[in-house]
């Protein structure tokens, strides 16, 4: 059966059109051009897979070129990390190059541009230059140094190169068009003075080229045919072409810039500056902290290169920006690990189980399948004995009807082992269960073929034998942010959305087959999720990182919170209709507790905004959200929406709405004064005693 042919994405179509129009295939050349000012993150992975994927598809070379033109932010550490990430992802570059390789050539081109009247040295302050450049709707004006003589410009530029001037005193600008509708064309900067040590050229240079000048010219030097970048560079394309116009030789390949939509992932920040802030403020433990979206962090967390490449393939290459759900990345990971990760048993929150009718001092070695998805994975032996550990939440002394785990009087199967029945518990002086006593069915060994072994029971539990268990440190990682768009909210820092439970460290116990596990080894802890051996592990101490759960807990949480808000709105309707004051108070308490329990900031904001409409119950819900949520404040909502809410609520026929809008206004110091006249009017007309009581407190 023929495999389904994949359609071309738009970049591939551009290349196909180039070839169809006579561009020689052996002249195709691509590049991946990171700036070594931080570690690569998952967003870069999309660009890496695109550029190197094109190289593989068209059998064309792909250069790794470091755009190292800003020594103030760049370090050799970042260069080394980027190379390691690329190799780990499975890609090999044709040549390792640096923009700094071309500093002399770029300088010579800049001198030629000065001589041709296409560049000049500007001595204005950066503030004056910003004013002089105008605005998107107002053209710029010529600066006082725009018409310096060629000789004077050459003298100043050479002095800049020789280190004769302090940083910020002069810049070299291209002379293009101060009235251009594209502000980037209004005499952009080409060089600035930086007396900084460069990680490759040392202190040789005192001037460094700006990205827009160096990038396209570097592409030209390397004879890159298709220069692929993200959509924020669309407006830069005109400048890219203008700089090429100054040096282009028609006998050479002229690079062309094409833009695609970058990867935007929810529950994540992608800004290198913000990621660096997390590192510098010790909010995370370095660039490779397993909670970071960096490739090194994902690798340490246990994500596989194959899963990341698959993720980039699934999301595709598009021209329009969109937000990708991080659960898709986790789905790709589960698919990969499900095929390759051995199944083992580990207990993370242990409680002791004693099988009272199992002989003391006896042990059995039971056969366990390593991975049912991989026939070649084979089997291993796991030890079984009288005393075991199971997960504490796998037992309830008195269980509800749909509890399918161990309880007194009920049976469960131990994975690969026997059926056991809960008999009694031992508790400490605080009532905490320290031991569960059970009996086992001696004829019920899994896979033995006996009638008892075929008996159906409520559930199957994982376990480890206490006398054989290997102690391990288990690091339970979760998403770093609790909001789906942590850096998109006005008046709020992305740090306000940190997940306080993004890392929990517990002492667990694993089966003895893991005693020889090596750093980077992946496992599925049965019923718990996928885990990887961390680099902190030693011969004497095992350390595991939780990579991902077997199910998407966040999707379930989001659905749960969305459903809770929907049900809370129904409770509002009941509350408004309730005549009995005691019942109404109970309903209000439930509503308040529900609102306080919601973590999803974006969901709360969206729900609040949707309920700002001319309906008493909706207005009440919106005011209660604003008053009782610990996540949302008035300044988190668009000012026009807030004013609309306050205006309609002050006129509401429902006294409870008027009470809560007044309480909200009382603590909203920013907007309180705007509504003074309406509050005064309400004070003169209000008849409800409870509303008057609140009015008198303002």
3 state SS of 623 = helix
* Residue 182 token pair: 């594209």
3 state SS of 207 = strand
Between strands 470-477 and 503-510, the pairing is: antiparallel
DSSP state of 611: T
The question of whether 386 is a catalytic residue gets the answer no
**How far is Cα of residue 414 from the mean position of the Cα atoms in its chain?**
38
* Secondary structure element (H or E) that encloses residue 515, with its range: none
* Residue 206 token pair: 């005192």
The phi-psi region of residue 248 (left if phi > 0; otherwise alpha if psi is between -120 and 50; otherwise beta) is: beta
Q: How far apart are CA 278 and CA 261, in angstroms?
A: 26
Has 519 been labeled as part of a binding site?
no
Has 270 been labeled as part of a binding site?
yes
The question of whether 262 is a catalytic residue gets the answer yes
Has 45 been labeled as part of a binding site?
yes
Has 226 been labeled as part of a binding site?
no
Instruction: Quickly list H helices, 359-400.
Output: none
Single out the residue of 629, 673, 675 nearest to residue 651, CA to CA: 675
Q: Which of 118, 262, 421, 644 is catalytic?
A: 262
Phi, psi of 678 (to 5 degrees): -70, -35
Q: Which of 35, 74, 259, 511 is catalytic?
A: 35
Q: How far apart are CA 595 and CA 607, in angstroms?
A: 11
What does the DSSP assignment read for 116-143?
TTSEEEE-S-HHHHHHHT-BTTB-----
- How many CB atoms within 10 Å of residue 326? 19
Has 296 been labeled as part of a binding site?
no
Q: How far apart are CA 612 and CA 346, in angstroms?
A: 50
Q: Count CA atoms within 13 Å of residue 496 on its CB side.
A: 16
The phi-psi region of residue 183 (left if phi > 0; otherwise alpha if psi is between -120 and 50; otherwise beta) is: alpha
Single out the residue of 73, 120, 70, 100 nearest to residue 218, CA to CA: 100
Instruction: Quickly list H helices, 611-667.
Output: 616-628, 639-650, 655-667
* Residue 625 token pair: 């959200």
Has 41 been labeled as part of a binding site?
yes
Cα–Cα distance list, 98 to 46, 80, 200, 222 (Å): 21, 13, 9, 11
Has 42 been labeled as part of a binding site?
yes
**How far is Cα of residue 232 from the mean position of the Cα atoms in its chain?**
20
**CB within 8 A of 472, min separation 6: which ones?**
346, 507, 508, 509, 510, 514, 541, 542, 543, 544
The question of whether 405 is a catalytic residue gets the answer no
Has 211 been labeled as part of a binding site?
yes
Between strands 189-193 and 171-174, the pairing is: antiparallel
3 state SS of 62 = strand
Single out the residue of 99, 38, 37 nearest to residue 65, CA to CA: 99
Single out the residue of 377, 683, 666, 399 nearest to residue 522, CA to CA: 377
> Which residues on neighbouring strands pair with residue 387, listed in sequence order?
354
Q: Which of 133, 161, 272, 475 is catalytic?
A: 272
Single out the residue of 502, 507, 443 nearest to residue 474, CA to CA: 507
Has 36 been labeled as part of a binding site?
yes
Has 67 been labeled as part of a binding site?
yes
Could you list the residues known to form a binding site for L-glutamine, using ranges: 67, 211
State the binding site for ATP. Answer: 35-37, 41-47, 230, 262-263, 270-272
Residue list for the binding site: 35-37, 41-47, 67, 211, 230, 262-263, 270-272
Residues that are catalytic: 35, 262, 272
């Amino acid at each position: 059966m023929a495999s389904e042919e994949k359609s071309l994405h738009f970049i591939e179509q551009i290349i196909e059109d180039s070839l169809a129009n006579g561009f020689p295939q052996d002249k195709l050349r691509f590049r991946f051009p990171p700036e070594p000012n931080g570690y690569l993150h998952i967003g870069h992975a999309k660009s890496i897979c695109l550029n190197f994927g094109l190289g593989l598809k068209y059998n064309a070379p792909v250069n790794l070129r470091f755009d190292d033109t800003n020594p103030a932010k760049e370090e050799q550490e970042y260069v080394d990390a980027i190379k390691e990430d690329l190799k780990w992802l499975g890609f090999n570059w044709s040549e390792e190059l640096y923009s700094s390789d071309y500093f002399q050539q770029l300088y010579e081109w800049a001198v030629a541009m000065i001589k041709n009247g296409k560049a000049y040295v500007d001595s204005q302050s950066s503030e004056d230059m910003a004013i002089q450049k105008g605005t998107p709707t107002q053209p710029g004006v010529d600066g006082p140094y725009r018409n310096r003589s060629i000789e004077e410009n050459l003298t100043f530029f050479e002095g800049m190169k020789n280190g004769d001037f302090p940083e910020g005193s002069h810049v070299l600008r291209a002379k293009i068009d101060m009235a251009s509708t594209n502000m980037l064309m209004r005499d952009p900067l080409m060089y600035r003075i930086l007396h900084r040590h460069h990680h490759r050229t040392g202190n040789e240079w005192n001037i460094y080229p700006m990205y827009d000048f160096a990038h396209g010219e570097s592409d030209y030097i390397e004879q890159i045919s298709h220069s692929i970048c993200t959509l924020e560079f669309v407006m830069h394309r005109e400048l890219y072409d203008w700089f090429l116009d100054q040096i282009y030789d028609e006998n050479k390949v002229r690079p062309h810039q094409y833009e695609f939509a970058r990867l935007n992932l929810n529950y994540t920040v992608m800004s290198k500056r913000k990621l660096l802030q997390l590192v510098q403020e010790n909010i995370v433990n370095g660039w490779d902290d397993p909670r970071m979206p960096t490739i090194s962090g994902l690798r340490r967390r246990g994500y596989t290169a194959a899963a990341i490449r698959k993720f980039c393939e699934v999301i595709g290459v598009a021209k329009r920006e969109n937000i990708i759900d991080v659960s898709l990345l986790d789905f790709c990971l589960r698919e990969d690990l499900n095929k390759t990760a051995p199944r083992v048993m580990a207990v993370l929150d242990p409680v002791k189980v004693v099988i009272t009718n199992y002989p003391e001092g006896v042990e059995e070695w039971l056969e366990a399948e390593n991975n049912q998805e991989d026939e070649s994975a084979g089997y291993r032996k796991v030890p079984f004995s009288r005393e075991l550990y199971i997960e504490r939440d796998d037992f309830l002394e008195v269980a509800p009807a749909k509890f399918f785990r161990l309880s007194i009087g009920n049976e469960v199967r131990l994975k690969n082992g026997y059926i056991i029945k809960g008999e009694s518990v031992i508790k400490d002086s605080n009532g905490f269960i320290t031991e569960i006593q059970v009996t086992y069915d001696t004829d019920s060994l899994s896979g033995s073929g006996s009638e008892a072994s075929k008996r159906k029971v409520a559930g199957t539990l994982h376990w480890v034998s206490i006398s054989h268990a290997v102690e391990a440190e288990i690091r339970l990682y979760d998403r770093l942010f609790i909001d789906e768009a942590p850096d998109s909210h006005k008046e709020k820092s992305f740090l306000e959305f940190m997940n306080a439970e993004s890392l929990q460290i517990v002492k667990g116990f694993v089966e003895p087959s893991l005693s020889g596990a090596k750093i980077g080894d992946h496992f599925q802890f049965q019923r718990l999720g996928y885990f990887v051996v961390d680099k902190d592990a030693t011969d004497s101490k095992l350390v595991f990182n939780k990579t991902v759960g077997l199910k998407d807990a966040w999707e379930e949480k989001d659905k749960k919170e969305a459903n809770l808000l929907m049900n809370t709105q129904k409770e509002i309707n009941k509350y408004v209709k309730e005549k009995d004051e005691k019942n109404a108070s109970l309903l209000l308490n439930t509503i308040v507790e529900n609102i306080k329990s919601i973590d999803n900031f974006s969901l709360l904001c969206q729900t609040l905004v949707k309920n700002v409409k001319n309906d008493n119950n909706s207005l009440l819900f919106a005011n209660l959200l604003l008053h009782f949520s610990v996540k949302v404040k008035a300044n988190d909502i668009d000012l026009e929406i807030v004013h609309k809410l306050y205006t309609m609520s002050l006129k509401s026929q429902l006294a409870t709405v008027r009470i809560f809008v007044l309480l909200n206004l009382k603590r909203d110091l920013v907007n309180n004064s705007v509504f003074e006249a309406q509050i005064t009017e309400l004070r003169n007309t209000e008849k409800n005693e409870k509303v008057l009581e609140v009015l008198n407190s303002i």
